[in-house]
Structure 1
Amino acid sequence: MQQSRLISGAWTGVRDDVRDGARGRGTRGRGARRWVPRAGVAAGALPWLASVAAAFTLAQLLLVVPGLGLGWDETVYVSQVSPQAPAAFFSAPRARGITLIVAPVAALTTSTGALRVYLALLSGAGLFLALWVWRRLLPAPVLAAAGALFASLWVTLFYGPSAMPNLWVAYGALAATGCLLRTARDPGDRRALAGLGAAVALAALMRPLDAVWLALPLAGAALLVRRHRIRPRRRLLLLVVLAAGLALGSAEWVVEAYVRYGGLFARLHRASEIQGSLGWYFAIDDHVRALSGRTLCRPCDVPWRHPATALWFFALPLLVAAGVWAAARSRHRTAVVLATVVGLALAAPYLFTVGYAAPRFLLPAYALLALPVAYGLVRLCVACGLVRVSRVRRGWRPAALVLVVVVVVGHLAVQYRVLEGVTGRVRADTVDYGRVAAALRAQGVRPPCVVTGTEAIRVAFRTGCASRQPSGHDASITRAELAAMGLRRPVAVLVAGGRQPPAYARGWRPHRLPELGRVTDYRAYLSPAATP
């Protein structure tokens, strides 16, 4: 009985907003300036958010985890702590945050399945905690809807159990925005103040430049919030906590910049080169194409064959605007608007400064923009009588319910279809890379060994070898050094597509390898030290 009361009470904020909007009062009036938490708000949110997080975790375990091997970027991050193979080259744009997250499992076992399960459970807990921060800011049904919308995207499901940093930046951004609002409204909320610094540090640990784009709108919000809501000392404290979180999370990346690259600006310049020289680009169309299931679209000059996969993307700006409009005269206005502003700030650099697309880049933006979208949709459901918290004609309910069911089922069907295609390709690649690694081991390529050339990183990791490249973004060795190394230990030079091996390997023993998807005519040239 008590549980039923708590769940039904979670609709109180929505009901009050509808009534305020109908009466034209909104946030006007002296009493609306003060925000007082309602008794039982936290407890009422628990079943909603726990259910969403549990469903998200279960969907990952069933749809994504089975048979999914490590991708190219994942291999780089995991190899830094895995005993399976020497660490791969760590390029300038990367940060070591995700490596720290996977370390407890990757350092103990080479099982990719165990790592996937661990990350699925952890990402479900992360979603719950990031939404839990907002439990005193927005009604529980809104938070649950926002979590469900975000978690239902194929890109969120795919990267939930992946050793990639973007989803964790999303959680950090979501939590940091909520913590800023809470500590601005309630100066005595010390947990929110500590959470603000920790969330920004998490984002900076994962991707320092993303954390800068996160901190900027949050700092602006700390300065622009009405004076009667926050005192000058409190504003300064919020700015100090933001700066401290950003500095703490970025410290390792900055120190490494001076140790390996000759300074912070040198590393930033190198990172820009690797990412295609950051500048002014219009990449929205690239992201639209990538939503059909391309985890990386670079260069993104492919035809747009599946428009249905991007319908939700085109609807997103309209739904966000509708959510902001719905909250404009409610006491939740500030929370909804700030979530929108921060989400747009996190999306802007990837839409207009990077000349290619990867759906994971926009995960932080999607996490925050899900809040205004959910707010507008929940208000619409209330207004249509799908939830009995306001007086509407019952005649609306059947038609509105059918429309909602059709839209939800259609959305989930499209997301599942794309997810199935992406995971299917990765599973096929997992089998192919395993066959290539087995073929190399059978030819005497065993640790300590080195693999270089086409798709060297993933092949080397599965073989237990070091991956080294004499050119490109991951250049870490010279051709002369590779030639000399081939006399002492097994070295495999991988070539494909009819290309000839480098001069130093032309006299080495050739061996044809199983093909890797689109990689055809795949061959290895094996040094004299590699003997079957």
Structure 2
Amino acid sequence: MVTATMRVRDVAAQSPARARREVPWLAVVAAVYAVVQLAVVVPHMGGGLLWDESVYASQVDPHRPAAFFSAPRSRGISYLVAPVVAATSSVVALRVVLALLSAVALYAVFRVWGPLVGRGTAALAALLFSGLWITQISGSQVMPNLWVALGAVAAVGWFLRAPAEPRARWWLAAAVAGITLLRMPDGGWLGLPLLAAAVCVRRWRPALPALLGGLALGAAPWVAEAYARFGGVGARLRASSATEGGMVPQLNVGTTLRSLNGPLLCRPCQVPLRHPELTLWWLALPLLAAAAVAVAVRDHRAGRGRALSATVLPVVCAASMAVPYLLLIDYSAPRFLLPAYALLALPLAALAARAPRAARSPVPVAALGLVLALQLGSQYAVLTDTTRQAAATAERYQRAAAGLRALGLRPPCLVAGPRALPIGYAAGCASAQVSGNNTSTTASALLRRAAHEPTAVFGHAPGHGLPSLRARGWTRHTLPGTGLRVYVAPVSGRAERPGQR
């Protein structure tokens, strides 16, 4: 009896020490995620922003005119980067801050799942998600999709914890509001299964006010802008559909498969499948998710394992958030499915963690380790290739902006035509379009404005919304190092600015 008591005391005395010695794997994963971004992505992306990044950053940049903000966009990512953009004009500094912030957010959102699936499984899920090339390249970009994905992980986790933890409802409301502020449609697609679960399952009903409040709070700016700029919510939704090419039921799986390993945007998506050998993981993803659900159901019936909802609800929410990108549009970008990948990482990690324990053999552990190493290695190969292409595009925009400055365009100035938005932002000029998805002015208004401020039009050809510019005295130039052709308005008739000769 005394010996047994002493052993219990020894174990109790060692428990805190063992807890202190336990490796914080989730923190390690988040730190490695930050290091990969800072070492591989940020140094090679150059000092420029890509097209969509320029649009979002310009909305809060105090030193540059705001680019046209189309109907489908939401302003959440602009609010997120506003303090950095206000403090510095350095794109590198902006990317460093976002890389560090995304790593902290990765740690925070997957930590929510520790009490639900275990800390080790949560860390493995974070590794599976952060190891994807699109996750690594998105962390330092001024784009909303990664932040929507991280918010979705937090929202579903807090939803599951809401019945037992009253404070979880406040975090749930905050997460849902943040997602909806970042991308209003994504907030709605996530809200659908969560609202259905809250209505149908009694123990989740206390989360219903938090869900509704978060959705309303996050959608409020989008709705207000809909009435201010588009004539109402219905008009903005119709404009959004037109911008997206018509959101109607259509199977978009083939387009999605062709863009999985790049390019960053596939529109129109006529490129061949890149790295087909690396597509196996993506094709296996739905099968692995189904296997995770089947195993969770079996364990639930046998009275073992964790709550069934911790596996099923992430899968259902992932499927819901993938619907618009797989079934409603005709183009694709790898970042579109980031929320689905983040949510599916949780049941996949639980399935992977369970397999070695069930087999009770070192062989499955070694096999899983090999598969994981191959997956991370293949993702790194795609990351370096895609980063190089993105950097070349950003560098082309920077060279075009330098070419415009060499031709005499200085703020305030105006740039129009294809690629006008990112090049105009890089040059410090306003941008405008007379046709296409980003139409923001008319041809006559553009020509009137060109009479009073330096103006350039890229790649102009008669019949594309403007009359012949050569006939109006505009001069044609080819910008060095870009292959881009630009027409520059004549200087006569402009009001001379102080110091201009």
User: TM-score, length-normalised on structure 1?
Assistant: 0.84
Q: How does 1:45-444 map to 2 (within 5 A)?
A: 47-68=24-45, 69-184=48-163, 186=164, 189-225=165-201, 227=202, 230=203, 235=205, 237-328=206-297, 329=299, 330-384=305-359, 392=360, 396-397=361-362, 399-444=363-408
For 1:527, give the aligned amino acid: P
Q: 1:402 to 1:179 in 2, by over 3 A?
A: closer
2:3: which partner in 1?
A: none
Q: Following TM superposition, by how much is the alpha carbon of 1:214 offset from its aligned partner in structure 2, in angstroms? A: 0.7
1:494: which partner in 2?
A: 458
Distance in 2 between the 1:84 and 1:421 partners?
33
What are the superposed Cα offsets for residues 282-314 of structure 1, whole Å, 9 maximum, x if unpaired?
A: 111111110121111122232224212311111
Asked whether the equivalents of residues 474 and 487 of structure 2 are also in contact (C-alpha less than 8 Å), the reply is no
Q: 1:108 to 1:2 in 2, by over 3 A?
A: farther
For 2:306, give the aligned amino acid: R
2:5: which partner in 1?
A: none
Secondary structure at 1:136 match in 2: helix
Distance in 2 between the 1:521 and 1:257 partners?
36
For 1:266, give the aligned amino acid: A
Q: 1:475 aligns with which of 435, 439, 444?
A: 439
Q: Which runs of 5+ in 2 are unaligned?
A: 1-13, 300-304, 495-499
When structure 1 is superposed on structure 2, of 164-173 and 316-325 the one drifting more is 316-325
Q: Following TM superposition, by how much is the alpha carbon of 1:107 offset from its aligned partner in structure 2, in angstroms? A: 1.4
Asked whether the equivalents of residues 509 and 528 of structure 1 are also in contact (C-alpha less than 8 Å), the reply is no
1:33: which partner in 2?
A: none
1:513: which partner in 2?
A: 479
For 1:5, give the aligned amino acid: R
Distance in 1 between the 2:353 and 2:466 partners?
62
Asked whether the equivalents of residues 510 and 526 of structure 1 are also in contact (C-alpha less than 8 Å), the reply is no
Q: 1:338 to 1:97 in 2, by over 3 A?
A: same
For 1:508, give the aligned amino acid: W
What are the superposed Cα offsets for residues 368-398 of structure 1, whole Å, 9 maximum, x if unpaired?
A: 11111100001112234xxxxxxx3xxx42x
Q: 1:346 to 1:4 in 2, by over 3 A?
A: farther
Q: Following TM superposition, by how much is the alpha carbon of 1:6 offset from its aligned partner in structure 2, in angstroms? A: 2.5
Q: Following TM superposition, by how much is the alpha carbon of 1:110 offset from its aligned partner in structure 2, in angstroms? A: 0.9
1:23: which partner in 2?
A: none
For 2:142, give the aligned amino acid: A
For 1:407, give the aligned amino acid: V
Q: Following TM superposition, by how much is the alpha carbon of 1:158 offset from its aligned partner in structure 2, in angstroms? A: 0.9
2:9: which partner in 1?
A: none
Secondary structure at 2:189 match in 1: helix
Q: 1:258 to 1:6 in 2, by over 3 A?
A: same
**Aligned residues between the structures:** 472
Q: 1:422 to 1:499 in 2, by over 3 A?
A: farther
Distance in 2 between the 1:427 and 1:361 partners?
20
Asked whether the equivalents of residues 496 and 521 of structure 1 are also in contact (C-alpha less than 8 Å), the reply is no
Q: 1:327 to 1:7 in 2, by over 3 A?
A: farther
In the alignment, is residue 460 of structure 1 matched against residue 439 of structure 2? Answer: no
Q: 1:286 to 1:437 in 2, by over 3 A?
A: same
For 1:338, give the aligned amino acid: L
Secondary structure at 1:523 match in 2: strand
Asked whether the equivalents of residues 446 and 490 of structure 1 are also in contact (C-alpha less than 8 Å), the reply is yes
Distance in 1 between the 2:259 and 2:233 partners?
32
Q: Following TM superposition, by how much is the alpha carbon of 1:347 offset from its aligned partner in structure 2, in angstroms? A: 1.1
Q: Following TM superposition, by how much is the alpha carbon of 1:423 offset from its aligned partner in structure 2, in angstroms? A: 0.7
Asked whether the equivalents of residues 505 and 527 of structure 1 are also in contact (C-alpha less than 8 Å), the reply is no
For 1:526, give the aligned amino acid: A
When structure 1 is superposed on structure 2, of 406-415 and 274-283 the one drifting more is 406-415
Secondary structure at 2:43 match in 1: coil
Asked whether the equivalents of residues 250 and 329 of structure 2 are also in contact (C-alpha less than 8 Å), the reply is yes
Asked whether the equivalents of residues 266 and 332 of structure 2 are also in contact (C-alpha less than 8 Å), the reply is yes
Secondary structure at 2:42 match in 1: coil
Q: Following TM superposition, by how much is the alpha carbon of 1:458 offset from its aligned partner in structure 2, in angstroms? A: 1.2
Q: Report % sequence identity.
A: 45
Distance in 2 between the 1:120 and 1:470 partners?
36
Asked whether the equivalents of residues 138 and 146 of structure 2 are also in contact (C-alpha less than 8 Å), the reply is yes
For 1:488, give the aligned amino acid: H
Alignment RMSD (CA, Å) = 2.2
User: TM-score, length-normalised on structure 2?
Assistant: 0.89
Distance in 2 between the 1:248 and 1:305 partners?
41
Q: 1:431 to 1:323 in 2, by over 3 A?
A: same
Q: Which runs of 5+ in 1 are unaligned?
A: 9-43, 385-391
2:491: which partner in 1?
A: 528
Q: Following TM superposition, by how much is the alpha carbon of 1:108 offset from its aligned partner in structure 2, in angstroms? A: 1.6
